[in-house]
Structure 1
Amino acid sequence: MIYPVFLKTILRTTNTEGEHDEIRYEGRAMAALRENGTWSVRYTDAENHGQTAIQGADLWVSVSRDGDTKSRLLFRVGDLLESIYKTPQGEFAMSTQTTFLHQEVTEAQAEVQVHYELYLSGSLVTTNELTLTWSPLPTK
Protein backbone atom coordinates (compact mmCIF):
# COMPACT_ATOMS: atom_id res chain seq x y z
CA MET A 1 0.00 0.00 0.00
CA ILE A 2 1.35 3.43 -1.01
CA TYR A 3 0.02 6.53 0.71
CA PRO A 4 0.97 10.19 1.37
CA VAL A 5 2.55 11.14 4.71
CA PHE A 6 4.12 14.10 6.46
CA LEU A 7 7.83 13.28 6.82
CA LYS A 8 10.39 14.82 9.19
CA THR A 9 14.08 13.94 9.00
CA ILE A 10 16.91 15.21 11.17
CA LEU A 11 20.55 14.40 10.43
CA ARG A 12 22.96 15.45 13.18
CA THR A 13 26.64 15.23 12.31
CA THR A 14 29.85 15.69 14.27
CA ASN A 15 33.12 15.93 12.36
CA THR A 16 36.52 14.78 13.59
CA GLU A 17 37.24 18.28 14.97
CA GLY A 18 34.10 18.12 17.13
CA GLU A 19 32.07 20.59 15.03
CA HIS A 20 28.33 19.91 14.84
CA ASP A 21 25.84 20.38 12.02
CA GLU A 22 22.16 19.59 11.59
CA ILE A 23 20.18 19.09 8.39
CA ARG A 24 16.38 18.98 8.57
CA TYR A 25 13.64 18.14 6.12
CA GLU A 26 9.90 18.50 6.69
CA GLY A 27 7.33 17.93 4.02
CA ARG A 28 5.11 15.66 2.02
CA ALA A 29 6.35 12.21 1.07
CA MET A 30 4.99 8.92 -0.20
CA ALA A 31 5.29 5.90 2.10
CA ALA A 32 4.82 2.21 1.37
CA LEU A 33 4.45 -0.83 3.61
CA ARG A 34 4.81 -4.20 1.97
CA GLU A 35 3.49 -7.61 3.01
CA ASN A 36 7.06 -8.93 3.36
CA GLY A 37 7.72 -6.43 6.18
CA THR A 38 9.79 -3.93 4.20
CA TRP A 39 8.90 -0.25 4.12
CA SER A 40 9.95 2.80 2.11
CA VAL A 41 9.42 6.53 2.01
CA ARG A 42 10.29 8.78 -0.94
CA TYR A 43 10.35 12.55 -1.31
CA THR A 44 11.50 15.29 -3.66
CA ASP A 45 14.91 16.56 -2.56
CA ALA A 46 14.88 20.13 -3.88
CA GLU A 47 18.36 20.88 -2.49
CA ASN A 48 19.84 18.00 -4.53
CA HIS A 49 17.48 18.55 -7.52
CA GLY A 50 16.22 14.98 -7.35
CA GLN A 51 14.64 12.29 -5.18
CA THR A 52 15.58 10.69 -1.88
CA ALA A 53 14.31 7.23 -0.94
CA ILE A 54 14.69 5.65 2.48
CA GLN A 55 13.92 1.95 2.83
CA GLY A 56 14.14 -0.61 5.57
CA ALA A 57 13.40 -4.01 7.03
CA ASP A 58 14.07 -5.66 10.39
CA LEU A 59 17.88 -5.54 10.27
CA TRP A 60 18.75 -2.79 7.79
CA VAL A 61 17.97 0.69 6.46
CA SER A 62 19.15 2.29 3.22
CA VAL A 63 19.17 5.89 1.98
CA SER A 64 19.38 6.52 -1.78
CA ARG A 65 19.81 10.02 -3.22
CA ASP A 66 19.48 10.67 -6.94
CA GLY A 67 20.07 14.20 -8.22
CA ASP A 68 23.10 16.48 -8.52
CA THR A 69 24.85 13.98 -6.26
CA LYS A 70 24.11 10.27 -6.19
CA SER A 71 24.66 7.94 -3.27
CA ARG A 72 23.27 4.84 -1.64
CA LEU A 73 24.08 4.26 1.99
CA LEU A 74 23.29 0.94 3.63
CA PHE A 75 23.08 0.60 7.40
CA ARG A 76 23.31 -2.71 9.27
CA VAL A 77 24.65 -2.89 12.83
CA GLY A 78 28.05 -4.55 13.04
CA ASP A 79 28.94 -4.28 9.34
CA LEU A 80 31.22 -1.83 7.53
CA LEU A 81 29.34 -1.33 4.24
CA GLU A 82 30.88 0.30 1.17
CA SER A 83 29.34 2.44 -1.55
CA ILE A 84 30.20 5.17 -4.06
CA TYR A 85 29.40 8.87 -3.70
CA LYS A 86 28.99 10.46 -7.15
CA THR A 87 29.32 14.24 -7.49
CA PRO A 88 29.85 16.59 -10.44
CA GLN A 89 33.51 16.71 -9.29
CA GLY A 90 33.96 12.92 -9.42
CA GLU A 91 33.37 9.69 -7.51
CA PHE A 92 34.50 8.92 -3.97
CA ALA A 93 34.61 5.65 -2.04
CA MET A 94 32.30 5.88 0.95
CA SER A 95 31.41 3.46 3.75
CA THR A 96 29.23 3.34 6.85
CA GLN A 97 29.72 1.63 10.20
CA THR A 98 26.35 1.44 11.96
CA THR A 99 26.36 1.49 15.76
CA PHE A 100 22.61 1.70 16.49
CA LEU A 101 19.45 0.95 14.52
CA HIS A 102 15.88 1.24 15.82
CA GLN A 103 12.65 1.05 13.79
CA GLU A 104 8.98 1.31 14.74
CA VAL A 105 6.96 1.43 11.52
CA THR A 106 3.20 1.09 11.15
CA GLU A 107 0.68 2.36 8.61
CA ALA A 108 -0.22 5.24 10.91
CA GLN A 109 3.25 6.41 11.87
CA ALA A 110 6.94 5.64 11.89
CA GLU A 111 10.06 6.43 13.87
CA VAL A 112 13.46 5.27 12.64
CA GLN A 113 16.83 6.04 14.24
CA VAL A 114 20.23 5.21 12.76
CA HIS A 115 23.56 6.08 14.40
CA TYR A 116 26.60 5.58 12.20
CA GLU A 117 30.12 6.61 11.32
CA LEU A 118 30.78 7.84 7.78
CA TYR A 119 34.10 7.18 6.05
CA LEU A 120 35.31 8.73 2.78
CA SER A 121 38.22 6.99 1.05
CA GLY A 122 38.78 4.97 4.24
CA SER A 123 39.02 7.95 6.63
CA LEU A 124 36.44 8.78 9.28
CA VAL A 125 34.81 12.12 8.45
CA THR A 126 31.68 12.28 10.63
CA THR A 127 29.71 10.56 13.34
CA ASN A 128 25.99 10.81 12.55
CA GLU A 129 22.53 10.40 14.02
CA LEU A 130 19.65 10.15 11.55
CA THR A 131 16.07 10.31 12.83
CA LEU A 132 13.03 10.12 10.63
CA THR A 133 9.38 10.16 11.54
CA TRP A 134 6.24 10.18 9.48
CA SER A 135 2.58 10.60 10.26
CA PRO A 136 -0.64 11.12 8.32
CA LEU A 137 -0.86 14.32 6.32
CA PRO A 138 -2.68 17.07 8.25
CA THR A 139 -6.25 17.57 7.12
CA LYS A 140 -7.30 21.03 6.03
Structure 2
Amino acid sequence: MEEIKAAYRRLSKEYHPDTTSLPLKTASEKFVQLREAYNVLIGEESRKFYDWTLVQEAESRRASLKLEDPYEQDVKNTESIPDTVDRLGGKNLALSGQAMTALTFDIAIIIFCFCCIVYVVFFKEPS
Protein backbone atom coordinates (compact mmCIF):
# COMPACT_ATOMS: atom_id res chain seq x y z
CA MET A 1 0.00 0.00 0.00
CA GLU A 2 2.82 2.37 0.87
CA GLU A 3 4.43 1.81 -2.54
CA ILE A 4 1.14 2.64 -4.28
CA LYS A 5 0.74 5.85 -2.26
CA ALA A 6 4.35 6.91 -2.85
CA ALA A 7 4.10 6.22 -6.59
CA TYR A 8 0.81 8.13 -6.74
CA ARG A 9 2.31 11.17 -4.99
CA ARG A 10 5.35 11.17 -7.25
CA LEU A 11 3.30 10.78 -10.45
CA SER A 12 0.64 13.29 -9.38
CA LYS A 13 3.34 15.95 -9.01
CA GLU A 14 4.68 14.98 -12.42
CA TYR A 15 1.31 15.09 -14.23
CA HIS A 16 -0.66 17.72 -12.28
CA PRO A 17 -1.63 20.47 -14.74
CA ASP A 18 -0.26 23.18 -12.43
CA THR A 19 3.19 21.63 -11.91
CA THR A 20 4.09 20.03 -15.26
CA SER A 21 5.67 21.29 -18.44
CA LEU A 22 3.37 19.11 -20.56
CA PRO A 23 0.56 20.73 -22.57
CA LEU A 24 -2.53 21.38 -20.43
CA LYS A 25 -4.77 18.89 -22.26
CA THR A 26 -2.22 16.06 -22.11
CA ALA A 27 -1.43 16.74 -18.46
CA SER A 28 -5.13 16.79 -17.53
CA GLU A 29 -5.78 13.47 -19.31
CA LYS A 30 -2.79 11.82 -17.66
CA PHE A 31 -3.75 13.16 -14.25
CA VAL A 32 -7.34 11.89 -14.59
CA GLN A 33 -6.06 8.45 -15.64
CA LEU A 34 -3.66 8.43 -12.69
CA ARG A 35 -6.46 9.35 -10.28
CA GLU A 36 -8.75 6.60 -11.65
CA ALA A 37 -5.97 4.00 -11.32
CA TYR A 38 -5.22 5.15 -7.78
CA ASN A 39 -8.90 4.92 -6.81
CA VAL A 40 -9.01 1.32 -8.05
CA LEU A 41 -5.75 0.25 -6.43
CA ILE A 42 -6.23 1.92 -3.05
CA GLY A 43 -9.51 0.16 -2.18
CA GLU A 44 -9.30 -3.49 -1.16
CA GLU A 45 -12.58 -4.52 -2.85
CA SER A 46 -11.96 -2.56 -6.04
CA ARG A 47 -8.43 -4.00 -6.32
CA LYS A 48 -9.78 -7.55 -5.90
CA PHE A 49 -12.41 -6.89 -8.57
CA TYR A 50 -9.73 -5.43 -10.88
CA ASP A 51 -7.51 -8.48 -10.36
CA TRP A 52 -10.49 -10.76 -10.98
CA THR A 53 -11.31 -8.99 -14.28
CA LEU A 54 -7.70 -9.35 -15.40
CA VAL A 55 -7.82 -13.09 -14.68
CA GLN A 56 -11.13 -13.41 -16.54
CA GLU A 57 -9.75 -11.53 -19.53
CA ALA A 58 -6.64 -13.73 -19.63
CA GLU A 59 -8.75 -16.90 -19.47
CA SER A 60 -11.04 -15.57 -22.17
CA ARG A 61 -8.10 -14.92 -24.47
CA ARG A 62 -6.68 -18.36 -23.77
CA ALA A 63 -10.01 -20.08 -24.42
CA SER A 64 -10.95 -18.12 -27.51
CA LEU A 65 -11.09 -20.19 -30.66
CA LYS A 66 -9.55 -19.15 -33.90
CA LEU A 67 -12.38 -18.65 -36.35
CA GLU A 68 -11.77 -20.09 -39.77
CA ASP A 69 -13.23 -19.17 -43.11
CA PRO A 70 -16.02 -21.64 -44.04
CA TYR A 71 -14.60 -21.88 -47.56
CA GLU A 72 -11.22 -22.93 -46.15
CA GLN A 73 -12.94 -25.55 -43.98
CA ASP A 74 -14.75 -26.93 -47.07
CA VAL A 75 -11.47 -27.14 -48.98
CA LYS A 76 -9.79 -28.96 -46.08
CA ASN A 77 -12.69 -31.43 -45.70
CA THR A 78 -13.09 -32.42 -49.37
CA GLU A 79 -11.82 -35.62 -50.89
CA SER A 80 -9.02 -35.34 -53.37
CA ILE A 81 -10.12 -35.98 -56.97
CA PRO A 82 -7.52 -35.78 -59.75
CA ASP A 83 -8.09 -32.80 -62.03
CA THR A 84 -6.34 -31.64 -65.17
CA VAL A 85 -6.27 -28.07 -63.82
CA ASP A 86 -5.25 -28.26 -60.18
CA ARG A 87 -6.50 -24.97 -58.69
CA LEU A 88 -7.40 -26.28 -55.24
CA GLY A 89 -4.35 -28.38 -54.46
CA GLY A 90 -5.89 -31.63 -55.68
CA LYS A 91 -9.26 -30.98 -54.04
CA ASN A 92 -12.52 -30.30 -55.87
CA LEU A 93 -15.73 -29.08 -54.32
CA ALA A 94 -19.05 -30.66 -55.24
CA LEU A 95 -21.38 -28.36 -57.17
CA SER A 96 -24.58 -27.32 -55.43
CA GLY A 97 -27.99 -27.85 -57.02
CA GLN A 98 -28.18 -24.18 -57.98
CA ALA A 99 -24.77 -24.34 -59.65
CA MET A 100 -25.78 -27.47 -61.57
CA THR A 101 -28.98 -25.75 -62.78
CA ALA A 102 -27.02 -22.69 -63.92
CA LEU A 103 -24.48 -24.89 -65.70
CA THR A 104 -27.29 -26.81 -67.45
CA PHE A 105 -28.84 -23.56 -68.70
CA ASP A 106 -25.43 -22.33 -69.91
CA ILE A 107 -24.85 -25.52 -71.88
CA ALA A 108 -28.36 -25.33 -73.37
CA ILE A 109 -27.76 -21.72 -74.50
CA ILE A 110 -24.42 -22.66 -76.09
CA ILE A 111 -26.04 -25.56 -77.99
CA PHE A 112 -28.89 -23.29 -79.14
CA CYS A 113 -26.42 -20.65 -80.38
CA PHE A 114 -24.43 -23.29 -82.24
CA CYS A 115 -27.63 -24.59 -83.89
CA CYS A 116 -28.58 -21.04 -84.93
CA ILE A 117 -25.19 -20.50 -86.54
CA VAL A 118 -25.42 -23.83 -88.41
CA TYR A 119 -28.94 -22.91 -89.63
CA VAL A 120 -27.84 -19.49 -90.88
CA VAL A 121 -24.73 -20.80 -92.61
CA PHE A 122 -26.23 -23.90 -94.29
CA PHE A 123 -30.01 -23.55 -94.55
CA LYS A 124 -30.82 -19.86 -94.83
CA GLU A 125 -31.35 -18.77 -98.44
CA PRO A 126 -29.69 -15.53 -99.47
CA SER A 127 -32.14 -12.65 -99.73
Instruction: State whether TM-score is above 0.5.
Output: no
Q: Which has the higher strand share?
A: 1
Range class of TM-score, shorter chain: under 0.3
Structure number with higher relative contact order (C-alpha < 8 Å, ≥ 6 residues apart): 1
Q: Which has the higher helix share?
A: 2
Give the alignment's TM-score, normalised by structure 1: 0.19
Give the alignment's TM-score, normalised by structure 2: 0.20
